Amino acid sequence: MTRSTAELIADRKRLLGPNVSTFYQEPLHIVRGEGVWLWDADGRRYLDCYNNVATVGHCNPRVVQAIHDQASTLNTHTRYLHDGILDYAEALTATVDDGLDTVLLTCTGSEANDVALRMAEAVTGKRGIIATDATYHGNTALVSQLSRSNEPKVGFGLEQFFRFVEAPDSYRNPDPDGTAFAAALTKHIAAHEAAGIGFAALVVCPYFLNEGFPQHADGWLRPAAEVVRKAGGFLICDEVQSGFGRTGTHLWAHQKMGVTPDVMTLGKPMGNGHPVGGLVTSAETMRTFRDGYRYFNTFGGNPVSCAAAHAVLHEIHDRDLVENARIVGAHARKRLEDLAMRHACIGDVRGAGLIFGAEMVVDRDTKEPASAFTERVVNAMRDRGFILSKLGRHKNTLKIRPPLVFSIENADSLIDTLDDVLREVPQP
């Protein structure tokens, strides 16, 4: 069945529910992808500057082949012996510090975070969790309660176990060495202790992507990690967005930020769109968790998922995509900084590797967020064939997070078009 755009919108409402969100004022109907390109139903081509899931390129031939080969041979689950999960776990653990040497695979990042929180509880015997007040960590009953970027209006009455530390904001509230963040954390840990709940874990994206990727020097998380360790808690680094080379200098953002987590959680780009998530932790933590919880995930770690995930790691390595992210990202940010000299609406330019963007303001002195303007810019870019979005506490930061195969030429056409759009869209 081929539906018109109007029919697609009507049938989504009818069949998926009346309030399922779409991107853009005029939703996109994408039917094909290849590399950094997407095509809509009318054959129009869009440059994908947003989708980190297809990290080694949409429909990457090596990943597609790996999925095809394994799916035409066998797909079962992890209660049978299979080389696939072991080969992948070997490759994955080789990329992180010693001590992070065991793997648990899930289907989503949410599940990985859910398990990580339960690991923290199992090991520390405490239940108090701390996250930032502008984050998102997933959609299970447990982790959805941590998500302040889209605060849930209902819940399971777990809120006494969660505390929210103010998210770092290098533009409005600089904390160059991370000590103010660590000090705030200390207070929240003390509050958990005073309430008799105790402190189990800090869960953070090490590059604070959902919070608006504040600009911090490498090693910025060290003071926070020290506070967490001193209090006997777990440091959970949610690398669902920041991992797999996104930030351009390291495969993992926690390495860039100078810390080693107790648990690193993964998702999104891990299978280039095939649903794979997971976590890496110590053997001791894994043992304690598995002693405490009977955990089985029917689809997590199946041979096809492992084949997809392994092909992604190979592509990142063989095509030097972390270095590509560094080079192309640095070029794009330099060009964005040049734009900022001509467009007063750009208050701040920041990012690392292929997560970068500009924060839009009404006035550079007051830094008043230009949220509605940012929305107009995102829609105008879409109309010109460029897919990107916005994020941060005020939803006024352009979120540019393309597949890692993005080129200098792609970056130039993105910034040239943004230049035109900023000139044409009515200013805040």
Binding site for ligand PMP (CB under 6 A): 108-110, 113, 136-139, 205, 210, 238, 240-241, 267-268, 277
**What single string gives the DSSP state of each residue in 113-170?**
HHHHHHHHHHHHS--EEEEETT-----STTGGGG--TT--S--SS-GGGEEEEPPPBT
Nearer of residues 35 and 243 to ligand PMP, judged by Cβ: 243
Instruction: Tell me the C-alpha distance between 351 and 85, whole Å.
Output: 34
Q: How far is CA 404 from CA 52, 58, 88, in A?
A: 8, 11, 21
Closest CB 136 distance from ligand PMP, rounded Å: 5
Closest CB 368 distance from ligand PMP, rounded Å: 27
Closest CB 326 distance from ligand PMP, rounded Å: 21
Instruction: Tell me the C-alpha distance between 388 and 397, whole Å.
Output: 11
**What single string gives the DSSP state of each residue in 211-226?**
TT-----TTTTHHHHH
Instruction: Tell me the C-alpha distance between 398 and 388, whole Å.
Output: 7
Query: Using H for helix, E for strand and C for coil, what is the string for 290-344?
Result: HHHCCCCCCCCCCHHHHHHHHHHHHHHHHCCHHHHHHHHHHHHHHHHHHHHHHCC
Closest CB 235 distance from ligand PMP, rounded Å: 15
Nearer of residues 170 and 241 to ligand PMP, judged by Cβ: 241
Closest CB 267 distance from ligand PMP, rounded Å: 4
Nearer of residues 52 and 410 to ligand PMP, judged by Cβ: 52
- For residue 316, the Cα-to-chain-centroid distance in whole angstroms is 17
Nearer of residues 134 and 381 to ligand PMP, judged by Cβ: 134
Nearer of residues 10 and 141 to ligand PMP, judged by Cβ: 141
The number of residues making up the chain comes to 428
Nearer of residues 124 and 265 to ligand PMP, judged by Cβ: 265
Instruction: Tell me the C-alpha distance between 312 and 118, whole Å.
Output: 28
Closest CB 15 distance from ligand PMP, rounded Å: 21
Closest CB 414 distance from ligand PMP, rounded Å: 22
Nearer of residues 115 and 405 to ligand PMP, judged by Cβ: 115
**CA geometry: angle at 126 spanning 124 and 130, to 5°?**
100
Ranked by CB distance to ligand PMP, the top (closest) residue is 109
Closest CB 139 distance from ligand PMP, rounded Å: 6
Nearer of residues 275 and 385 to ligand PMP, judged by Cβ: 275
